[in-house]
Structure 1
């Protein structure tokens, strides 16, 4: 940096938070306190006369004793100056632009089915809202539908495309009660803007008429900073429409009442057209700026806080606060002892160390190292740890120890359903007798399951709890947080056996051959070739994948094709809630 640049920076130097500089006044007080403390700490002053003390102490009370005080004073000064925010240069940054939000209130009363603007008022209104959402240049947008009451279709969001997804579902049939309460629509829209934290915004209503209550609501919204505009939907000639009772009535556009509404709300009025001229006249395609001073993309300059430059010298001074040789010792520990000194272990709380131990135990459990998992769980206290330890012991075949672990978990948490179910499954596995011959697996249809009590069972077992309906483990609730991911799914009684007893070898081979034949038959019956109209992916899927896909397709066919059903149910429930509360507020 040249001399002229340095001089310019010094000339521009100022403090962003100058109030912190008052803390420098504490330095003299701290110096006085330190001197008095040092004077009281000297035992020689109590036994030696003052005129002999200096001759006795010599120069030991000079610079050596003053160095800590000077270091502390310098550190204090640097910290205070850094907190004061010294600044001497400006940097560019984009200016935040506050675009005015817009809430669209769409009339969904029975009158929108009139065809004075073909094909219907509803079709014209939905098309106009779609154009507005597609061409509006920024700003948050919300959508409200109203008839006898007002409801939120889409809350305020910067994603206008997300709001447009609901347009096709809008129909008078989704409204719980017919009517035309425009005043409630304006009040509801005002509440949405207020709850979103906006002090100003726009409300655009699409309807054909406005009464005195609606004008009062528009004036109230304008008093709170929200501009209300109106887009007239329909024609002055009018057209008939069908009432909910089955009769017919005629409805006409009343431009005069809508102009009065816009005037009361501080907004504008326009009649719906086939082009975007009406939206241009309303001024809703270009959001108003919150302060009216900055344009999009404009950049400004702000003073940069340079206090961070004082942190390195302040940290160097902090090293001198250690005892003599302490910085060198710390450096040696960091460089030569990284394997034995872990910063995370030194600063971890007991609960953090327990959580880490649980994570390591869960990882060992998933990897199949059940003995190691049980040892790690034993080092952690709590019902969850004992429950998981019981799972690991059961998977390792240590059933008596597993039952003890479950009992310990139940002593701490008597209502733990998973521990109760797994304890029953392990007890059933211990009481179950192994098969005695090749035909024993076929004598009881329920005894085809695996026998985990001693690690010996008929091959091909897949039932988790074995004979006679001891299936509590299957019905157990998922394990609570902190248990292995597969602890609740793979119950202890699901432990596969790799070493069948000698007298079951023949039956094992027969079962394996029978399963292979059934698999091929199922595949031939349920998996047609790609020539029958299937995609290559469907032709190569397994029977399980095909069964799952067909079930999903059947479930989807059961869902009625009613895009407005969700809104209809939502509005109905909200209407019932308001009736119960005898009042309503925007939510």
Structure 2
């Protein structure tokens, strides 16, 4: 601790009430003397006027030293508990943000056109507005029809939730229906799994039945408010059910008001802009729930831990006589240590939690390599799942799949890991397809043996025609035919030659990669060829659009629930 770090004028106590404990010193001193006086058996058997002549007085000086050290140790301990502080440190400012689960009705009634162009289109647009305008807090998206399924788990990255909006349609749901009660129960379960004691659930639907009202009441008893946003009109409109029959969809505002009242929430009808969302109060999360960091501030740092080393040194005198020799190594080690004394007493779980916080911060600022490295220090399923996400963001798809496999090995049936693994595999398939397409195009643009002219210019011209977004055709034509001056013409020619050279180099690299791939296929064994063809066939079966991914994810989840007897009754 440097002298510059100590400000005598700023010295104060964070917990001065501990100084009242010093008043106990006289009482403790009297008790100690009385106990010491009663400790000698001679006091009960020998007359008091004979004791000074019979008892040795050699221990009085030692007793005085012991009592003095005890008093000093007590005073130092009380002062440390009082929390001396003389400098401020930066620390995050915390403010509360309630989590929100959005439950969207994806029954066949969502295709009704009583609010043009359709209820589903209006609901998508409203959710996009909510994600864009909401002032912080974690958000999750749930879709429900005959049962409820997680589209996106609780996250602060609303952009990831918005990615699935265009894929939401009734045909991704395994079973048709309007089980709003299942949606409320599932949303409350998501909040509970994330260890939120409070949170909000908003239902985007047109009606609610009695089981849904009971589910809203259950959620309210758990601390989760239930809101309702009415989608549709009282006049209603016809729609086609999944079995081909027709029905009439109408907005039942009364049932939704009753639902919101049972769930300790509010009801609002769909409106233009964000007035309906502001009426519900979900754009500005309430301030008494889960805490997240918002900026930085300063706070006085408790420096009482600096009094612990001298207190420990004083405690050494309470043991054997030669224990004071331990002062020597402590004096050598302590001044040279640069670590904070508070860090020396952190448990292993606290150290791991701090490392996970650092990984999360690295992920949010886009340093995915550092995030993957920090997540790799932990060994639980959530850490492997987060490491897979970081690796996927960094473009390391095989390593991301391996991380998801490790998470599933520790926690089988982890829905988010299964869904993200499928998405990464689909991305790998698209990447391989794009590479194969580039290889085939590069092969077609190879000059023929009997071709005329400069092959580099022929191939460069063909490559330049494929890269139209790099420069507008009108601008290129103007620079080629009607230059403003000679210098502009020279610049255009130089840029053209540079692009042609880059195109030729790219073509040569693609040709080398294609030749290496073909050579590897020619040298592979029959077993390797069969395995490669099987992998390619399997990759072609993997859906590569969000709608197909959601449909497959919900189907697998439905089969699991039916197997475990958790399906809708």
Structure-1 residue corresponding to 2:285:
287
Out of 247, 250, 253, the residue aligned to residue 251 of structure 2 is: 253
Deviation of 1:139 (Å): 1.2
**TM-score, structure 2 as length reference:** 0.53
Structure-1 residue corresponding to 2:512:
539
Aligned CA RMSD, in angstroms, stands at: 4.9
Matched, 1:15 2:17: yes
Deviation of 1:138 (Å): 0.7
Larger Rg: 1
Matched, 1:109 2:111: no
Query: For structure 1, which segment, 127-136 or 183-192, has the greater mean C-alpha deviation from structure 2 after superposition?
Result: 183-192
Structure-2 residue corresponding to 1:414:
none
Structure-2 residue corresponding to 1:572:
558
- SS of corresponding position for 1:564: helix
Q: In 2, are the aligned partners of 1:259 and 1:269 still within 8 Å (CA)? A: yes
1:135/1:34 CA distance change after superposition, 3 Å: same
- SS of corresponding position for 2:109: helix
Structure-2 residue corresponding to 1:314:
311
CA distance in 1, matches of 2:60, 2:25: 27
Structure 2: runs of 5+ lacking an equivalent: 334-439, 447-505, 522-527
Structure-1 residue corresponding to 2:407:
none
Matches within 5 A, 1:269-280: 269-273=267-271, 275-280=273-278
Out of 556, 560, 571, the residue aligned to residue 543 of structure 2 is: 560
1:110/1:202 CA distance change after superposition, 3 Å: same
Q: In 1, are the aligned partners of 2:196 and 2:290 still within 8 Å (CA)? A: no
Matches within 5 A, 1:18-97: 28-30=30-32, 50=51, 52-53=53-54, 60-64=58-62, 66-82=64-80, 84-86=81-83, 96-97=94-95
Deviation of 1:319 (Å): 5.1
Q: In 2, are the aligned partners of 1:173 and 1:568 still within 8 Å (CA)? A: no
Structure-1 residue corresponding to 2:143:
145
Query: For structure 1, which segment, 202-211 or 255-264, has the greater mean C-alpha deviation from structure 2 after superposition?
Result: 255-264
1:542/1:142 CA distance change after superposition, 3 Å: same
Deviation of 1:109 (Å): 0.9
Q: In 1, are the aligned partners of 2:139 and 2:156 still within 8 Å (CA)? A: yes
1:125/1:320 CA distance change after superposition, 3 Å: same
**TM-score, structure 1 as length reference:** 0.51
Alignment size in residue pairs: 378
- Residues 134-163 of structure 1, C-alpha deviations (whole Å, 9 max, x = no match): 331111212222212223333333332333
- Residues 345-404 of structure 1, C-alpha deviations (whole Å, 9 max, x = no match): xxxxxxxxxxxxxxxxxxxxxxxxxxxxxxxxxxxxxxxxxxxxxxxxxxxxxxxxxxxx
Q: In 2, are the aligned partners of 1:21 and 1:80 still within 8 Å (CA)? A: no
Matches within 5 A, 1:413-428: none
Structure-1 residue corresponding to 2:130:
132
- SS of corresponding position for 1:576: helix
CA distance in 2, matches of 1:287, 1:145: 22
Structure-1 residue corresponding to 2:178:
180
Structure-2 residue corresponding to 1:227:
225
Q: In 2, are the aligned partners of 1:207 and 1:231 still within 8 Å (CA)? A: yes
CA distance in 2, matches of 1:297, 1:330: 44
* Greater relative contact order (Cα < 8 A, sep 6+): 2
Structure 1: runs of 5+ lacking an equivalent: 337-525
> Would you tell me which structure has more helix in proportion to its own residues?
2
1:247/1:159 CA distance change after superposition, 3 Å: same
1:76/1:115 CA distance change after superposition, 3 Å: same
1:543/1:143 CA distance change after superposition, 3 Å: closer
- SS of corresponding position for 2:207: coil
CA distance in 2, matches of 1:313, 1:124: 69
